[in-house]
Amino acid sequence: MSLEVFFDPAAERHDTGPHHPERAQRLEAFAAGLERAGLSRESFLRPQHATADAIQAVHPAKYVGVVEAVCESIPAGSVGELPTGDTVVSHESYAIALSAAGGAIAAAETAKPGAPTLALVRPPGHHAEPARGMGFCLFNNVAIASSRALRASGNVLIVDFDYHHGNGTQAWVERALAGEERGLGFISTHAYPAYPGTGAFDESRVNDAGFVLDIPLPHSTDTDDFTNVWAQLLPLAARRVQPKTIIVSAGFDFLAGDPIAGLSVAARAVDSLCDLLGETAAEHNASLAFVLEGGYSLDNLRASGESLGRVFSSGGLTASPSARATLRDERLRKMVDEAKRWLA
């Protein structure tokens, strides 16, 4: 097993200004971790820009035009902000956002059973709603890739373990399931309450077409409870949707020490998540694609890149946590038990 990586060096030209947490050094740190795991940067593939059709499968043309016009209006060397939300952009941000979406598409299309992929991209995407960029996000990379994968390959499971709720991805999934789409699932853990204020447990919906499953994590959540939530729910979520493709919104800001987020979760949780995702993909003979989202500690990003690279270069590290393990937090235990009933 080896990990194929899509990376555009031009991503550094998405300028967010001084002292902004979503900065170009994030990708360099993650790439350094992959190199520690034995991957060669020379093997990274440069993605093509996403086409207008691919972007507009998720985002209306009017919004896309706003993003392009705002970025075009910003003088070189300066930064501005999208009128739709808290997202800093620069003159080249529109082009770099097309590259990020293209990287997510390439990762999803290239991944094969037993041959996972990673889109090492910025800006991130999971906060971008169909007609609203926010939370550092311009276009929703994972939603765009999932829309393409759903049509090309069949059922898709979206997994999001970022500290922040992927409100934009959920909005797209809800819209898709309200239409004609079938075989689409979204499962997320995220701190709650936290930005952007969405992702309460009662937003979850499970029906014959697919599901949205939100597990809001108390801020006191520790490593064992975090990994055990995923160990108990991910296999059931996958069996429910029977995915051909699993696309992961891989945000590493849930780790302790993140400067703008962070739970009391140790770095070993990344190993457990990677093992569990690999096992789940193997059970369903599904492709597995990771797309970088948040994570603002450079040390954590380096360590997470090393974990991801090592797990998927060696075929797995250790056994995943037992799905029978008891959750310590009673609030989590009640939510997980209810979710298990829904998914059964």
Q: What is the pTM of this model?
A: 0.97
The mean per-residue pLDDT over the stretch 141-149 comes to: 99
> What is the domain count for the chain?
1
Residues designated catalytic: 127
**Tens digit of each residue's pLDDT (9 = 90 or more) over 211-233:** 999 999 999 999 999 999 999 99
Residue-wise pLDDT tens digits, 15-41: 999 999 999 999 999 999 999 999 999
pLDDT of residue 315: 59
CATH for 81: 3.40.800.20
Task: Give the rounded percent of residues in the chain with a pLDDT score beyond 90.
Answer: 95
Is residue 324 predicted with pLDDT exceeding 50? Answer: no
pLDDT of 106 over the 70 cut: yes
Mapping DSSP onto H, E and C, the string for the chain reads: CCCEEEECHHHHHCCCCCCCCCCCHHHHHHHHHHHHCCCCHHHCECCCCCCHHHHHCCCCHHHHHHHHHHHHHCCCCCEEECCCCCCEEECCHHHHHHHHHHHHHHHHHHCECCECEEEECCCCCCCCECCECECCECCCHHHHHHHHHHHHHCCEEEEECCCCCCHHHHHHHHHHHHCCCCCEEEEEEEECCCCCCCCCHHHCEECCCEEEEEEEECCCCEHHHHHHHHHHHHHHHHHHHCCCEEEEEECCCCCCCCCCCCCECCCHHHHHHHHHHHHHHHHCCCEEEEEECCCCCHHHHHHHHHHHHHHHHHCCCCCCCCCCCCCCCHHHHHHHHHHHHHHC
Asked if the model's pLDDT at residue 318 lies above 60, the reply is: no
pLDDT in tens, 173-206: 999 999 989 999 999 999 999 999 999 999 999 9
227, two tokens: 């990994």
- Per-residue pLDDT averaged across 329-339, rounded? 98
Residue 321 pLDDT more than 70? no
pLDDT reading at 314 higher than 90: no
pLDDT at 316: 53
Q: What is the mean pLDDT of residues 37-47?
A: 97
- Tell me what the pLDDT averaged over the chain comes to: 96
User: What domain range is 144 assigned to?
Assistant: 4-343
At 319 the pLDDT is: 52
In this predicted model, what pLDDT tens digit does every residue of 72-97 receive, in sequence order? 999 999 999 999 989 999 999 999 99
| Per-residue pLDDT reduced to its tens digit, 156-173 | 999 999 999 999 999 999
What's the confidence (pLDDT) of residue 326? 87
Task: Give the CA distances from residue 100 to residues 28, 33, 141, 171, in Å, rounded to whole numbers and listed in that order.
Answer: 15, 20, 7, 20
pLDDT > 70? residue 323:
no
